[in-house]
Each structure stands twice: as C-alpha cells, then as structure tokens.
Amino acid sequence: MMMQSSILVVDDEEVVQRSYVRSLAGQHCKVEVVRNGYDALTLMDEHRFDVVLLDLRMPGMDGMAVLKTIKERWPESEVIIITGYPAVESAKAAVTLGAYDYLAKPAGPEDLVNAANGAVLHKRWLLRQDRPAPSAAMQ
C-alpha cells in the first residue's frame, strides 16, 4: 500500500482477525482490531481509518448497521464487507449503503491485500476530486 494507511478489522472471530493482520503485515499499513460493531464505532470516534474490513454477522450490532453508520459519519472511510454468508441480496445492500467491495470468506491473503489496496487508492482519488482545481482556488 502506498504511504501509511490505517485499517480497522471488525470481526468477532479471533482466528479471522489474526489471519487478516498476518495478510496485511508488511503492506506499510497500521492495523487495529475490534470484535464488534460497537467497539468499531467507538474507536472510529477516536481515530479515522482509511479502510474498514467488516464482517456482516456479529453479535450485537450487525455489519450492515455498522456500514450505514460509518458511511453517514465518516464517508471518507472505505468499507470492505467480508462475510462467511455471501448472498446477492446482502451484496446489493452493502453496495447501496456505500461499501467499496464485498468478499466471501475465506478471503485469501492476495484477495484481502488487493481489495485493501484498491480501497486506499479509491479513497485517495476521491479526496483529490474534492479539492478545488489550482486555478479556481487562486481566483
């Protein structure tokens, strides 16, 4: 990944968390891990993340509710849904709510890194588009 990116992993399974952290090691990114949606939103209040890797089925707040809240409060954060229960309906709903990507578990290390890289590049491209053109800023 280009520069230092920050990634939040939101999954209730410790083995999945470790797998994602291991896959992203050496990718020039900072990775933090939480077990549920409530902790994810609390942590995002304290620190902005470039990318959120989000499980759909978790105890308490489900992934769709977390996705909706993230996109409302931190629209600049890209969210990648990673679920063990992929379905066309949930994929459509996730994209409609603003998810950058939707992956089925088990996501391999290469798939995970490629999706995270794509999300970081997409975020940076969008942020560039939001800036006024240099000539317009000088007027």
What is residue 136's predicted lDDT score, i.e. its pLDDT?
47
Sorted by sequence, the CB contacts under 8 Å of residue 63 that are 6+ apart come out as 10, 37, 54, 55, 56, 57, 81, 83
- Cβ atoms of residues 33 and 9 within 8 Å: yes
Average pLDDT over residues 103-116: 92
Average pLDDT over residues 92-121: 93
Q: How would residue 4 be classed by pLDDT, with cut points 50, 70 and 90? A: confident
Average pLDDT over residues 35-52: 95
Question: In CATH, what number is assigned to the domain containing residue 107?
Answer: 3.40.50.2300
> 84 lies in which domain range?
5-138
What region, left, alpha or beta, does residue 66 occupy, with left being phi > 0 and alpha being psi -120 to 50 degrees? alpha
Q: What total number of domains does the chain contain?
A: 1
* pTM of this structure: 0.87
Q: 41 pLDDT exceeds 50? A: yes
Q: Which two tokens stand for residue 1?
A: 């990944």
